[in-house]
Amino acid sequence: MSIKSFLIGSPIETIKEKHERLSRKMGLAVFSSDPLSSVAYGTEEIMFALMAGGAALLSYTLPIAVAIVILVAIVATSYFQTVHAYSSGGGAYIVAKDNLGVLPGLIAGSALLIDYVLTVTVSVAAGIAAITSAFPATRDHAVAMCIASILFITIINLRGVRESGKVFSLPVYIFIGSLLVLIAASLTKSFTFPHLEYHEVAGTAANIFPVFIILKAFASGCATLTGIEAISNGVRAFKAPEAKNAGITLVWMAFTLAVLTIGIAYFANYYGILPNPDETVVSQLARTVFSKGIVYYIIQFATMLVLILAANTSFADFPRLSSIMANDRYLPRQLSNRGDKLVFSNGILILGFLSVLLLVLFRGDTHSLIPLYAVGVFTAFTLSQAGMVRHWMREKGKGWRKSAVINGAGCITTGVVLVIIAVEKFTHGAWIVLIAIPVLVFLTRKVHRHYLSVAEQLSVEKCIARVQEFKHHSVIIPVSGVQQAVINAIQYGKVLSDDVVALYVCLDEMETARIKQKWDRHCMGIQLIIFDSPYRSIKEPLMEYIDEVKSIHPDGVITVVLPEFVPSRWWHHLLHNQTALFIKGLLLFKKGVVSTSVPFHLIK
């Protein structure tokens, strides 16, 4: 408890939940760090894809960036409407489920959950890549640095929403400020620095039809849009009025993202920067403009921080979305429980574990992870906008036609982009996500069927119909010797029933003889039944005797009373057998058998 208190702080009362909500400035840092941070690698991914057709195609970087910004405007406008129409949060999952049906809702929810895991891995890997670009000697430790970063973000999020907002606000605003300075300095230097043209290099794949390469570059750059839906999922995290504050934060985020994306893409082209697996595009641009001075290192450090902290968008939304789906009984109920700091701790821990696992599998390589990215989020975008069109057509409130047109345009646009991404990225790893989404949908439906079955079987009406009156009560006490814990268990057993026996499994004949001598003196006339076990197993004799008693009293109940002594120190448990725990595990699945422990607490 002291370690837990040190790591995540003191518990917060439920009544103080409203005081833990976010202002617009904090909300921008918590929910927008993912899309804003994608500026650091979005342009780079476009340029890497274009290089497949030769350096001359790099001149398309800016037009593609402009197309992505237009897409950002369409999606942000659509989600602005979603925020106000569904101010309770839930985003694509709730919108699709309410308007299109359960299956589309589960597809949207599953796609987002997968994408949130990928967001953490890509963001952290890209953040560490910014550091390894500035300090090449650290490349061999990239995976370890990624894992340490995820652990840090996990702990901060376990400390509460406001705590994470306070920690992450400053780095996000430093990043925005440093990139604005970089763009301004790039503009100033451009007055005296000639524009560098890209020229074809002999031997490149110039014969490849450029349209496909441009589409592939566009698909890669669409990773910039991941995280835009986060605000619509977390509306309830904002201070009142929740929908208004969330909507304004969404507009701030979209405008900032547009400015930074266009600025980086334009000046990367202007200064003739080429994509390099060992140095990021932002690093090359900053080095070109500032050389390797203090400003360069501030930009790299700020980029590293915001990319790592961009994972916080997922840590804010994955637990919220999983809690909503858990409340609907499509995910384990434990995900709907709030922890000591009023956050969904189980969701945070699961996200941290899955992200570390994925980073280790892909060795922290951003370019290997990017192809898996964006498929899930554009699936959710498309279903959400289609759901909103259905919502406006059903509600038909004031201005519903205009709203339906906006969401319809968003649905068509994101649907086309989804097809482009799925086709262009399929062989590069997108197939994994396209398989993972239906698998997760299948599992959520299985979970739901289980909960429905449990609810039906536990209903009061069913219970009354199946109530059973026990005609006999047998008490069995497994013992390992004669000591105070056993005496306590015998006293308890005699209170429960007149039919009490003790069961001892003989593993050593000399020890058995000593126990027989003590038994009659101390054990209050309770019968001791001794079984031989040639293979030194406790399980078989106990289960056989229980079956024998059940055959004699088929309408009875059996209580197995387990004597347990409880050490005073936690580490003392490591020095003793956990036989009682083992027996309880066995009996849990035995019908008509109850197990109970009688603890004897040790002082030292």
Please write the tens of the pLDDT for every residue from 296-321. 888 888 887 777 777 777 887 888 88
Per-residue pLDDT, averaged over 275-299, amounts to 84
Q: Domain range spanning residue 504?
A: 469-601
* Same domain, residue pair 411 and 485: no
Among 425, 441, 457, identify where a domain stops: 425
Q: What percent of the chain has pLDDT over 90?
A: 13
Bridge partners for 557 per DSSP: 473
Per-residue pLDDT, averaged over 152-172, amounts to 76
State residue 445's pLDDT score. 94
Q: What three-state secondary structure class fits 561?
A: strand
HSE of 392, CA atoms in CB hemisphere, 13 A: 20
204-213, 215-224, 519-528: segment of lowest average pLDDT: 204-213
- In whole angstroms, give the CA distance from residue 175 to residue 299: 7
* Same domain, residue pair 477 and 410: no
Evaluate whether residue 449 is within a structural domain.
no
Tokens at residue 237, please?
């995290």
- Count Cβ atoms below 10 Å from residue 67 Cβ, excluding itself: 16
Per-residue pLDDT, averaged over 395-417, amounts to 83
pLDDT in tens, 99-118: 899 999 999 999 889 888 88
- In whole angstroms, give the CA distance from residue 109 to residue 444: 10
**Helical ranges in 58-160 per DSSP H:** 61-85, 91-100, 102-134, 142-158
Q: In what order do the strands lie in the sheet with 527-532?
A: 527-532, 499-506, 473-478, 557-566, 593-601
Among 367, 393, 425, identify where a domain stops: 425
More confident residue, 1 or 90: 90
Evaluate whether residue 391 is within a structural domain.
yes
Q: What percent of the chain has pLDDT over 70?
A: 87
- In this predicted structure, the answer to whether residue 288 has a pLDDT above a threshold of 80 is yes
- In whole angstroms, give the CA distance from residue 543 to residue 337: 37
Evaluate whether residue 453 is within a structural domain.
no
pLDDT category of residue 206 using cuts at 50, 70 and 90: very low
State residue 110's pLDDT score. 92
pLDDT in tens, 214-257: 887 887 777 777 777 778 777 877 887 888 888 898 899 899 99
pLDDT in tens, 428-477: 777 888 888 999 999 999 999 999 888 887 776 665 555 567 788 999 99
* Same domain, residue pair 407 and 506: no
Q: Work out the end-to-end distance of the chain between its first and last CA atoms, rounded to an integer number of angstroms.
A: 20
* Same domain, residue pair 255 and 135: yes
- In whole angstroms, give the CA distance from residue 237 to residue 239: 7
> Across 120-243, where does the E strand assignment appear?
none
CA distances from 129 to 30, 222, 337, 429, 434 (A): 22, 20, 36, 21, 27
More confident residue, 437 or 523: 437
Tokens at residue 307, please?
């990319």
Q: What is the pTM of this model?
A: 0.73
- Count Cβ atoms below 10 Å from residue 6 Cβ, excluding itself: 8
Q: How many domains does the chain have?
A: 2
- In whole angstroms, give the CA distance from residue 322 to residue 115: 13
34-38, 201-205, 274-278, 497-501: segment of lowest average pLDDT: 201-205
Residues 6 or more apart whose Cβ sits within 8 Å of residue 6: none
Per-residue pLDDT, averaged over 471-500, amounts to 89
Residue 307: name the closest of 278, 268, 280 by CA.
Answer: 280
* Same domain, residue pair 360 and 272: yes
Evaluate whether residue 145 is within a structural domain.
yes
- In whole angstroms, give the CA distance from residue 29 to residue 305: 12
- In whole angstroms, give the CA distance from residue 379 to residue 374: 8
pLDDT in tens, 326-363: 999 999 988 888 766 667 888 989 999 998 888 888 77
State residue 205's pLDDT score. 46
Residue 113: name the closest of 317, 309, 310 by CA.
Answer: 317
Residue 103: name the closest of 322, 320, 321, 330 by CA.
Answer: 330
* Same domain, residue pair 419 and 480: no
pLDDT category of residue 201 using cuts at 50, 70 and 90: very low
Tokens at residue 523, please?
């054990």
Question: Biggest alpha carbon distance in the chain?
Answer: 104
**What is the DSSP pairing of strand 527-532 with strand 499-506?**
parallel
User: Peptide bond before 241: cis, by omega within 30 degrees of 0?
Assistant: yes
Structure-token match 């014969």, residue found:
207
CA distances from 545 to 202, 489, 589, 594 (A): 84, 19, 16, 15
Q: What three-state secondary structure class fits 573?
A: helix
- In this predicted structure, the answer to whether residue 183 has a pLDDT above a threshold of 60 is yes
**Helical ranges in 159-205 per DSSP H:** 161-190
Evaluate whether residue 463 is within a structural domain.
no
Determine phi and psi for 536, rounding to 5 degrees.
60, 30
Compute the residue count for the chain.
604
Evaluate whether residue 302 is within a structural domain.
yes
* Same domain, residue pair 211 and 116: yes
Question: Mean pLDDT of all residues in the chain?
Answer: 81
**Three-state helix/strand/coil letters over 384-410:** HHHHHHHHHHHHCCCCHHHHHHHHHHH
The CATH number for 272's domain is 1.20.1740.10
pLDDT category of residue 367 using cuts at 50, 70 and 90: low
- Count Cβ atoms below 10 Å from residue 40 Cβ, excluding itself: 29
* Same domain, residue pair 359 and 475: no
- In whole angstroms, give the CA distance from residue 579 to residue 601: 17
Structure-token match 């031989």, residue found:
532
**CA angle at residue 7 from 4 to 10, to 5 degrees?**
70
Evaluate whether residue 333 is within a structural domain.
yes
- In this predicted structure, the answer to whether residue 571 has a pLDDT above a threshold of 90 is no
* Same domain, residue pair 474 and 406: no
> Across 219-318, where does the E strand assignment appear?
none
* Same domain, residue pair 411 and 505: no
Per-residue pLDDT, averaged over 144-153, amounts to 87
* Same domain, residue pair 267 and 401: yes
Evaluate whether residue 551 is within a structural domain.
yes
CA distances from 451 to 9, 40, 330, 400, 457 (A): 34, 44, 8, 38, 10
- In whole angstroms, give the CA distance from residue 235 to residue 248: 11
More confident residue, 580 or 3: 580
State residue 204's pLDDT score. 46
More confident residue, 457 or 13: 457
Highest-scoring range by mean pLDDT, 25-29, 129-133, 426-430, 476-480: 476-480
Tokens at residue 533, please?
């076990």
- In this predicted structure, the answer to whether residue 263 has a pLDDT above a threshold of 80 is yes
Quick check: 150 and 120 in contact, CB under 8 A? yes
- In whole angstroms, give the CA distance from residue 348 to residue 310: 15
Sign of CA dihedral 498, 499, 505, 509: positive
The b/e string for 219-236 (b: 16+ C-beta within 10 A; e otherwise) is bbbbbbbbbbbbbbbbbe
Residue 231: name the closest of 216, 207, 247 by CA.
Answer: 247
* Same domain, residue pair 413 and 533: no
Per-residue pLDDT, averaged over 110-139, amounts to 81
The CATH number for 525's domain is 3.40.50.620
Quick check: 104 and 97 in contact, CB under 8 A? yes
